[in-house]
Amino acid sequence: RKIQESDLPVVVGWSGSEEACGAYLTPVKHDLEQMRHQLQSGNFWNEMERMFLVEVKEDGRPVGTAHYWRSPGRQNTVSMALKVAVPEERGKGYGTEIQKFLIMYILDQLPVGAIEMHTDINNIAQQRCLQKLGFDLVESLVYEDQQKKRTGHLFRLTAKQYHLHPIYQFHYE
């Protein structure tokens, strides 16, 4: 769901926590007041980007965030990222379902030709997940994550691949 002001303390807490970021994300350490200003000014919910709070359906417990954005000059491609911030909730399939939902949302709602996602070279579980979701490995590269150099992979799913992939043909909530 769309992030609300009451969610900000949790999201800000996760942003600075190494435990919430896990081994493959670098803590951002957001400032609460700065995030409040960004939320109020529409920076997290506009034509260029959207940020969601991810909750467990049964009890509404927040477990992470999902985010997509269009990079300037690349209007036909959307980048996405997610974080399962509660360590004991990792490995339960939430990441796959979050990504599947986000992919379906983007490619069914937006006029884009592809979705891209970077993943750390050592994040084998995420790489398997992306391949299961129909992404192709485009290239291996060095990228910057919060001023920290990482080696990773760039994966891409085109709109054509999405419409042909069986995992998206039959989806039930």
Quick check: pTM over 0.85? Answer: yes
Tens of pLDDT along 79-129?
999 999 999 999 898 999 999 999 999 999 999 999 999 999 999 999 999
Name the residue type at position 91: G
Q: Which among 112, 108, 97, 160 has a CA at the least distance from the CA of 134?
A: 160
pLDDT of residue 112: 93
**Burial class of 126 by CB neighbour count within 10 A (0 to 12, 13 to 18, 19+):** buried
Rounded CA-CA distance 101/56 in Å is 14
Distances (CA, A) of 43 to 2, 33, 40, 109, 119: 12, 14, 8, 19, 24
pLDDT for 173: 53
